Chain A
Amino acid sequence: MWSWDFTFKILPQLLDTLWITISATIAAFAVAMIGGLILAFARRSTFRLLSWVTYAFIEFIRTTPPLVQLYVIFYVLPRYGLSLSPFTAGVIGLGIHYSTYLSEVYRAGIDSVPRGQWEAATALNFSPLQKWKTIILPQAIRPVVPVMGNYLIVMLKETPMLSAITLVELLGRAQIIGSNTFRYLEPITLVGLFFLVLSYSASRLVIRLEKRMNINHHGKMDAAA
């Protein structure tokens, strides 16, 4: 039977770990966004070896389970002198895993920018860096914002995996409460509700971001490729 008393007793404990889930998600997504961009550039490099190694890395990370990668970072790396806190290890592990997905998203976005945009930027004598920053990336990212937002939400829902490397986040806390009190109904239900609220807010945020970008840009891209 559902106990409101019990619910209110455990609520503060769960709210404490809610922050861990949120910050781990945001930090890991930041790693994924930056890492993904770096991978996308390395993949495009005219230096063949770099491009090939990047491709192999992306494929390897994508085709192995993130849990295995987390274990490697948290349990194996300390043997080689690199000890990370559960939070840092988790953020890096999830971040790198998702950076491989995001690199593909960036690539699609970059490929969607018509060649004429590059040529116009060259004709105005933009430096390569300015071209990327001012002309190409803003146009490349705009159409892929929804896909990136989707990955953010998927990643949020993957954070319980971090309890495997001893990071006590929402679900981890609920489990601890459960095993201490033999009551799982309330903690697990609350965790479900928290994730529902988080996912929903994240998706609203993405939609708003998308809308704001579209106000400045009436859908149509440059006519010719």
Chain B
Amino acid sequence: MRRLKRNRVGHLISKGSERVSEMTENNHVAVAEAPQSNQEQTEPIVRYRKVSKSFGDNQVLKEVDFDLYPGERVAVIGPSGSGKTTMARLLMTLEKPTSGTIEVDGRQLWHKEVKGKLVPADEKHLHEVRGDIGMVFQHFHLFPHMNILKNVSVAPIKVLGLSKEEAEERAKTMLDKVGMSDKLEAYPANLSGGQQQRVAIARALVMRPKVMLFDEPTSALDPELVGEVLDVIKEIAAEGEMAMMLITHEMSFARDVADRIVFFDEGRIIEQGRPEQIFTAPKTDRLQEFLKRFELNGSSS
């Protein structure tokens, strides 16, 4: 499984931006049957171009270029306040970029074309493009007034227009996948954090997004509950169907799951590459410095 993943990414990276292809120099592209990828699939599914974001005087993202390929799993690491969450929130349309463009599957996200010119997108346009993106939040944000089954089936009914039966069928399949199918009638307040986050993952998955964003999905959990959530994410990652952007402080998890690691600092991508390169041979001082902190407290186990 790992090999297959690597192989595909080697293939993808070579077609990526210059910045990415720099990183390919010490790649060992494993030999395994490459997944069939047609021409469209090797186009990035998400493309950030010169994306900047400021909150007042505070420039949080600085002309970021970033590509994410279909099925690719990218872990985003970096110090607190470096802009990782903001990257994801811009793509989820929870925050509006100050400048720059984001493309999703060939379409502009925050702009639409009117007579060959890019104008700011309206809600209708955002609604069309946003359907490709899903997000899992640090604090789950389950709907407290709905039981678990309803939490997962409500959006397929209201947004995708599925029948109740169909939506619940889909929801149950997803809840089964995250190991929560025995709690259909329970309410979020009666679940542990780990259980809530697994439901939140099912709720995002059930919409079948092409890109899934995970913003520190285990940071709000008690240590003993982290594992169950990471296991679920690993399982989904192994299926390799969606592109995934995993913002995390769990370095060993990033290493195990990601095809590519992106290191953020002060609103810029400082370094990116394959996990083994990033963790064993970081090039920049800042990344070396950052990784040292994790070795010290031994949390890379």
B159 touches A138 (CB 8 A): no
Q: Is B204 among interface residues, defined by CB-CB distance under 8 A?
A: yes
CB proximity of B176 to chain A, nearest CB, Å: 20
* Distance in angstroms between the alpha carbons of A122 and B134 in the assembled complex: 10
Q: Is B155 among interface residues, defined by CB-CB distance under 8 A?
A: yes
CB proximity of A212 to chain B, nearest CB, Å: 13
Known contacts A125-B127, A223-B220; is-contact A218 B190 (Cβ 8 Å): yes
Residues of B within 8 A of A222 (CB): 139-142, 144, 188
Of A128, A139, A220, A223, most buried by chain B (CB within 10 Å of CB) is A223
* Distance in angstroms between the alpha carbons of A222 and B190 in the assembled complex: 12
CB proximity of B233 to chain A, nearest CB, Å: 17
Q: Report the nearest B residue to A127, measured CB to CB.
A: B127
B155 touches A124 (CB 8 A): yes
- Number of chain B residues close to chain A: CB under 8 A: 33
Pick from B130, B144, B147, B158: contact of A220, CB under 8 Å: B144
B141 touches A134 (CB 8 A): no
Q: Is A12 among interface residues, defined by CB-CB distance under 8 A?
A: no
Pick from A119, A139, A220, A223: contact of B94, CB under 8 Å: A119
B141 touches A122 (CB 8 A): no
* Distance in angstroms between the alpha carbons of A120 and B189 in the assembled complex: 16
A220 touches B189 (CB 8 A): yes
* Distance in angstroms between the alpha carbons of A108 and B200 in the assembled complex: 27
B141 touches A126 (CB 8 A): no
B189 touches A123 (CB 8 A): no
Q: Is A208 among interface residues, defined by CB-CB distance under 8 A?
A: no
List CB contacts (< 8 Å) of A186-225 with chain B.
Answer: 216-224
Known contacts A116-B141, A120-B141, A135-B143; is-contact A217 B159 (Cβ 8 Å): no
Q: Is B9 among interface residues, defined by CB-CB distance under 8 A?
A: no
Of A120, A128, A216, A218, most buried by chain B (CB within 10 Å of CB) is A120
Pick from B140, B155, B190: contact of A223, CB under 8 Å: B140
Q: Report the nearest A residue to B160, measured CB to CB.
A: A125
Q: Is B165 among interface residues, defined by CB-CB distance under 8 A?
A: no
Q: Is B207 among interface residues, defined by CB-CB distance under 8 A?
A: yes
A116 touches B155 (CB 8 A): no
Residues of B within 8 A of A114 (CB): 141
Q: Is B92 among interface residues, defined by CB-CB distance under 8 A?
A: yes
Q: Report the nearest A residue to B139, measured CB to CB.
A: A224
Q: Is A130 among interface residues, defined by CB-CB distance under 8 A?
A: yes
Q: Is B84 among interface residues, defined by CB-CB distance under 8 A?
A: no
CB proximity of B127 to chain A, nearest CB, Å: 6
Cβ contacts A to B, 21 pairs, < 8 Å: A116-B141, A119-B92, A122-B130, A123-B133, A123-B204, A124-B134, A124-B154, A124-B159, A127-B123, A128-B123, A138-B145, A139-B145, A216-B145, A216-B187, A217-B144, A218-B190, A220-B144, A221-B144, A222-B144, A223-B139, A224-B220
Apart from the given pairs A125-B131, A125-B207, A217-B145, 7 other A-B contacts in the complex at a CB distance below 8 Å: A114-B141, A123-B92, A124-B204, A127-B159, A139-B145, A217-B189, A223-B139
Q: Chain B residues in contact with chain A, CB under 8 A?
A: 92-94, 123, 127, 130-131, 133-135, 137-145, 147, 154-155, 158-159, 187-190, 200, 203-204, 207, 220
Q: Which 4 A-B pairs have the closest CB atoms?
A: A224-B139, A120-B141, A116-B141, A124-B155
